[in-house]
Structure formats: C-alpha cells, structure tokens
Amino acid sequence: MEKKIALITGATSGIGEACALRFAHGGYNLILTGRDGERLKAVGDAAINLGAEVLTLQYDVRDLAACEAAVNSLTGRWAAVDVLINNAGLALGLEKEYMGDTNQWDTMIDTNIKGLLYMTRLIVPGMVARDQGHVINIGSVAGDAAYANGNVYCATKAAVKAITDGLRIDVMESSVRVTNIKPGLVETNFSVTRFSGDTEKAANVYKGIKPLTGTDIADVAFYAASAPPHVQIAEVLVLATHQASGSAIYRN
C-alpha cells in the first residue's frame, strides 16, 4: 500500500519538527517546509531514519510567490498531499496594544494568517478534486480569549479558528476533514522567539508548571489524522494539567 503524504509548514523546530517525526514514525512520507535550510535537512534526515521518504522545500510562507513556486514544483505522487499541517506561526513581543511594534504585527499577521491561507488555497483544491484529504491547523488557546499584552497574537489565532471553521463548512460536501488544534503552554522555541532570543525571559514563561511538549501536540495531530474516514476531529483544546485557560495558570 502506498504511503500517504503529509506536508508540514514550519517543520524546522517545535511542534512542526515533532509532527514530522511522529508522522514519519506513523508511516507517512513527508514534504517539510521552512526558512532554515540547515534545520530542514536535519529534521528531514531524522525522518528518513524513521523510514520516511522526505522532500524539503525552503521558503517563507509569508511570500505568496514562493508558496506558489514550491507547490507547483511538486510532481507525481508528491503533488497529491493527503494531510496539510499548517503549523508555521509565531508570537513576537508582549507589549500593550497601544505600545506594540507594527513590524512585529505585520510579521505575525502575514505568517499566522496569510501564510496559512496561502497554503490552504494552494493545497485544498486538489484534496477536494480527489475527494480525500485532511487539513490540520495549529491554532492556540490564545484564539479563545485575549490575555494581557497578547492582543495581536491572540487576534491571529482567533482568525485561525474562524478560518478553520469556515473551511470545514466550505468542504463539507467532500470527504476532506478539517481540524483545529489549540495548544496551551508548549515549551518550544516559541517564547525564545517572542522575546527576541532572551532565554531567561522565555524560561520564566514555563516556571513552576510542567508544560506540554511539541511531541504532545504531534500525538494529537496524528490521532486526528488516524481517525476513521467518517470521523472528523473538528477541534481539540490541549492544556497542561495546571493550566485552565490562556491566562489561568497555577504555578508551584
């Protein structure tokens, strides 16, 4: 039986890297995308060691022309993506909205929203035409309610929820499934990126609580993709045990 293909954006670290390894272990071949070619190769090599065939595509999802060129370069079986994991995303800054950096706003909006839309627009028509496929968007608990100083990031993840829900309605006459996974605290490079490389500030985000890992979220994504064809895992909120919402966290 021919292996299914999963395309994972932002596959160079964190949840994206974990999804690559989990889906490789689960019998998928992979198309891995990201901006860092060296990291792409490292993750790809790790997936190959788990038995996957891997194609890496280095580009930035914010760049529509680059997205189009990357997807148009897929030929043969690689062009028939079975699972699209829209994972590429980031948070930048933690300031009050009226003090925010507009360049950081642009980067978050262009990556978290527009990049996801670009990849969806390019991949999903093929899924609908084949009457099979699965889109898994990595949202966030931040999309459910704003938290202090999270303003624009929270807005982008609220958009992911709305876009995911809208897509699910738009494809419901087909057999394409659509899932929104909303993690809470996950210890990855997320906070290091948010604080511009300040590892001490990043570490404080997870102080006093055992956070989720990228692997925890990858397991949820794989579970959703592995459900029987008539079962659509529409939305999953995944929190650390001592986290109750985006802002309610008990720290020991």
**3-state SS, one letter per residue, for 13-70:** CHHHHHHHHHHHHCCCEEEEEECCHHHHHHHHHHHHHCCCCEEEEECCCCCHHHHHHH
CB 194 within 8 A of CB 108: no
Catalytic residue among 118, 147, 153, 223: 153
Residue of 129, 179, 188, 137 lying closest to 160 (CA atoms): 137
Say whether 153 is catalytic. yes
Angle at the Cα of 138 (from 169 to 111), degrees rounded to 5?
A: 100
Strands (E), the chain: 5-8, 29-34, 54-58, 83-86, 134-138, 177-183, 235-238
The span from the CA of 37 to the CA of 60, in Å, is: 11
Environment class of 251 (CB within 10 Å of its CB; exposed 0-12, middle 13-18, buried 19+): exposed
> What is the number of alpha carbons within 13 Å of residue 108 lying toward its C-beta?
26
* One-letter amino acid of 95: E
Q: Which residues are marked as active site?
A: 153
